[in-house]
Chains A and B, each alone.
Chain A
Amino acid sequence: MNEASTLPGYTYDDLPGLMALMTGDEKHDLAAESTLDVLWVLYDRVLRINPAQADAEPRDRFYLSKGHGPMAFYAILTAKGFIDASELPRYGQFDSVLGQHPDRNLVRGAEISSGSLGHGLPIAVGTALGLRAVGLTDDRVFVLTGDGELDEGSGHEAIAFAGRAGLEALHCVVVDNSSATYGWPGGIETRFAAEGWSVTRGSGRDHDALEAAFAAPHPGRPRAVIAVV
């Protein structure tokens, strides 16, 4: 693993301070906070992404599907050297690159634009197909979605197909904060498991448990990690 290294002076403990530099997105505060630990574990321990050599292979791709509340995402991209901290106070301003939903064409390190729910996982299915087709069998793609976002039917097109296609490169972390209006009886993981995914459910705050959940082998199957917060 050649995970992105943390720049001197930036640790997990600095993330609240970096997030505090961004203001004016109060309605997204809960959404932003729910993803903080998952995002940190991904960027600090799991993803092979190097801001200095963004295209170096093998590498992983991270798609933030749940684009609401991107402050934790921006804070971590800052801690990992993709965004300059001086940009954070301009969050949401007219000429800032940091909007209330990320735009991959503006934000260095953001690999998809998101905001409208239900797009990231289906895009990631295509990327997993593409990586397989071009022979990049060591590369992986990770998607962060939420239990509420999975209300969107488009996600279920992706879940069903990815399971049946055995897209081992595909990893989906569902931050489950019980925000789906009608819930998922039996747990959202049952929808993945029924389609052939490797699934696990655990704490979305426990860094070691999250790391272990992402590290578990899942030959021939995509992997879903339900991270409860």
Chain B
Amino acid sequence: MRQRFVRVAGELLDTDPRVAVLLADITAGEFDAARDRHPDRVVNLGIREQLLISAASGMALAGMRPIAHTFASFLVERPFEQIKLDLNHQGAGAVLVSSGASFDYSSSGRTHQAPGDVALLGTLPGWTVHVPGHPDEAERMLRAAAVSNGLVYLRLSVLANAGPLAVRRLGFTVLRSGTLATIVAVGPLADAVIEATAGMDVTVLYAPTIRPFDRQTLRATLVAPVVVLVEPYLAGTSLADVADALADLPHRSLGLGVARDELRRYGTPLEHLAAHGLDPASLRQRITGFLDSGQADGRRPMLARSLA
């Protein structure tokens, strides 16, 4: 996805004089060609992430559409006050594009992992948060973000689904329909969720954009008020949105994702997926256990007609 980002951002620089790319050394080499063409609009600030966000704000105040990029840990967590004040509070728009989602850089350890990025941005109003599951989706999201004026976070990952699952719309997409529960699969975990729920009588929604949270589709497709979120970042990040969407219904919900506790392991992203219980086998076990537990203690899911 990062390579696609570099290519598409280069095209946007060529076609839209408002677009600027701000960097903090990360990925700067890949932008050399674009910087040669647009030396005033491709700016590497060095290892200065507070300045990265503040400069994006200042560029927006001068009428530009800045795209700021570095690793998620240094784009969202390190300069979080700059995001809160220099973007949100100023009323300045920007596109933040991260790479290194959650445990993408598994062998780099905790310093390069930021599974809390979406939760952090969730404390601020107005953000559109994209979690693309495929480079094609990331490209569409970046192109749309470049021509808007709002606050957009595009969370690129080395993990991806085999193919694009949503190329036309921003909200949730129904991948499968069932009656016992709704599983919301976010971004690159969709393939794992599809595999994990094979043969199960559940609805699977695909969410490549998690903010704003598509309550409408969740409600419109809801058969039983039982929802499982499968998010490739901090577990439970969007549970409050599910609770809000179902506030008028007795309901059950489960948030699966990256555990809050530090793993303190290196290895590969796939090893981290398994360690956090996000591989297909673990997901199937956890989802099945959750659905079974609801039935075992008598709290059977309500049927569609009782929701009417």
Contacts and interface: CB of A to CB of B under 8 A. Distances in A.
Contact of A157 (B20, B43, B50): B50
Contacts of A161: 45-46, 48, 51
A158 B64 contact: no
B58 A126 contact: yes
Interface stretch (A9-17, A25-33, A69-77, A111-119): A111-119
A131 B51 CA distance: 17
B239 to A, nearest CB: 30
Interface stretch (B84-92, B106-114, B146-154, B219-227): B84-92
A119 B59 contact: no
B184 to A, nearest CB: 34
A156 to B, nearest CB: 9
Contacts of A141: 58
Nearest to B92: A123
Interface string A124-139: 1111111111101000
B50 A153 contact: yes
Contacts of B45: 157, 161
A154 interface: yes
Nearest to B19: A133
Contacts of B41: 133
Interface in A133-171: 133-134, 136, 141, 153-154, 157-158, 160-161, 165
B63 interface: yes
B51 A130 contact: no
A128 B90 contact: no
B54 interface: yes
Given A119-B85, A119-B86, A123-B86, A134 B62 contact: yes
B63 A134 contact: yes
B58 A116 contact: no
Interface string A13-24: 000000000000
A157 B51 contact: yes
Interface string B89-120: 11100000000000000000000000000000
B61 interface: yes
B157 interface: no
B48 A130 contact: no
B121 to A, nearest CB: 18
Interface string B215-257: 0000000000000000000000000000000000000000000
B187 interface: no
B66 interface: yes
A157 B58 CA distance: 15
Interface in B11-32: 17, 20, 22
Contacts of B6: none
B58 A122 contact: yes
Nearest to A126: B58
Nearest to B91: A105
Interface string B112-146: 00000000000000000000000000000000000
Interface of A: 61, 103-105, 111-113, 116, 118-119, 122-134, 136, 141, 153-154, 157-158, 160-161, 165
20 contacts: A111-B61, A112-B61, A119-B85, A122-B55, A123-B61, A123-B86, A126-B58, A126-B62, A126-B66, A129-B20, A129-B40, A129-B55, A129-B59, A133-B40, A133-B62, A134-B64, A153-B50, A157-B50, A158-B54, A161-B45
